[in-house]
Structure 1
Amino acid sequence: MAKLISPEIDSLLEKTSRSFYLTLKVLPAKIRGQIGLLYLLARLADTIADSASGNTNQLIDNIREYNEYAQGNRDDPPNLSDLAQLQTNPEEAKLLEKVSEVVDSLERFSEADQKIIRHCLDTIVSGQTLDLQRFGNVEKGTITPLSDDNELDDYTYRVAGCVGEFWTQMSLVHCINTDEDTEKLMFEYGVRFGKALQLINILRDIPADLALGRCYIPIDSMTRYDLIPSDLQDLENMENFRPLFDIYLDLAWGHLDAAVEYIGLLPKRQFRLRAACMLPVLIGQRTLTLLGSQNVLDRDNRVKVLRPEIKRLKNKTLWAMFSRRKCMKLLQSNRDA
Structure 2
Amino acid sequence: MPHPTREFLLGPLLKGVSRSFYLTLNILPAGMRDPIGLAYLLARAADTIADTSLIAPPQRLGLLLALREWVAGAPPDTETLRRLETEVASQQTQSDEKALLQSLEPALAVLMQLSESDRRAVRDIVSTLSDGMEFDLRTFPDEQSGDIVALPDWSALDRYTYLVAGCVGEFWTTMTYAHLPNTLPHPADTMMARGIAFGKALQMTNVLRDCGKDLRIGRCYFPADSLASFALTPQDLLAPANSVRARPLLFSLIERSLPLFREGLAYLCAIPALSLRLRLACLWPIVIGLETLLLLARNEAWLDPAHVSKIKRKQVYRIIARSIVLAPSNRALKRWINGLIGAIEEEIRGRSAH
Give the structure-1-normalised TM-score: 0.94
Structure 1: any 5+ residue segments left out of the alignment?
Answer: none
Give the aligned residue type for 1:37: L
Query: Which whole-Å CA distance do the structure 2 matches of 1:236 and 1:137 have between them?
Result: 26
1:11 paired to 2:12: yes
**Residue of structure 1 equivalent to 2:273:** 268
Query: Which whole-Å CA distance do the structure 1 matches of 2:24 and 2:9 have between them?
Result: 20
Give the aligned residue type for 1:214: R
Give the aligned residue type for 2:49: I
Asked if structure 2 preserves the Cα contact closer than 8 Å seen for 1:146 and 1:216, the reply is yes
Give the aligned residue type for 1:66: L
Cα distance, 1:138–1:311 mapped onto 2, change above 3 Å: closer
* Deviant stretches of 4+, over 4 Å: none
Q: Per-residue deviation at 1:224?
A: 1.7
Asked if structure 1 preserves the Cα contact closer than 8 Å seen for 2:166 and 2:200, the reply is yes
1:244 paired to 2:249: yes
**Residue of structure 1 equivalent to 2:135:** 130
**Residue of structure 2 equivalent to 1:203:** 208
Q: Per-residue deviation at 1:331?
A: 2.7
**Residue of structure 2 equivalent to 1:86:** 91
Asked if structure 1 preserves the Cα contact closer than 8 Å seen for 2:10 and 2:37, the reply is no
Structure 1 window deviating more from structure 2 (5-14 vs 146-155): it is 5-14
Q: Per-residue deviation at 1:30?
A: 1.5
**Residue of structure 2 equivalent to 1:117:** 122
| Aligned residues: CA RMSD | 1.8
Q: Per-residue deviation at 1:53?
A: 2.6
**Residue of structure 2 equivalent to 1:47:** 48
**Residue of structure 2 equivalent to 1:299:** 305
1:234 paired to 2:239: yes
**Over residues 183-235 of structure 1, what are the superposed CA-to-partner deviations in whole Å (9 max), with x where a residue is unaligned?**
22211110011111111011011110111011001111111221110000112
Query: Which whole-Å CA distance do the structure 2 matches of 1:222 and 1:334 have between them?
Result: 27
The alignment-based identity, stated in percent, is 37
Give the structure-2-normalised TM-score: 0.90
Q: Per-residue deviation at 1:158?
A: 0.3
Structure 1 window deviating more from structure 2 (304-313 vs 327-336): it is 327-336
Q: Report how many aligned residue pairs link the two structures.
A: 333
**Residue of structure 2 equivalent to 1:313:** 319
Query: Which whole-Å CA distance do the structure 2 matches of 1:271 and 1:227 have between them?
Result: 45
Query: Which whole-Å CA distance do the structure 2 matches of 1:322 and 1:243 have between them?
Result: 37
Structure 2: any 5+ residue segments left out of the alignment?
Answer: 344-354
Task: Return the match for 1:288 from 293, 315, 323.
Answer: 293
Asked if structure 2 preserves the Cα contact closer than 8 Å seen for 1:69 and 1:76, the reply is no
Asked if structure 2 preserves the Cα contact closer than 8 Å seen for 1:9 and 1:102, the reply is no
**Over residues 127-156 of structure 1, what are the superposed CA-to-partner deviations in whole Å (9 max), with x where a residue is unaligned?**
101101112447722111111111100000
**Residue of structure 1 equivalent to 2:260:** 255
**Over residues 235-282 of structure 1, what are the superposed CA-to-partner deviations in whole Å (9 max), with x where a residue is unaligned?**
222232111221111112221121111101112221110011001111
Query: Which whole-Å CA distance do the structure 2 matches of 1:179 and 1:17 have between them?
Result: 30
Asked if structure 1 preserves the Cα contact closer than 8 Å seen for 2:161 and 2:200, the reply is yes
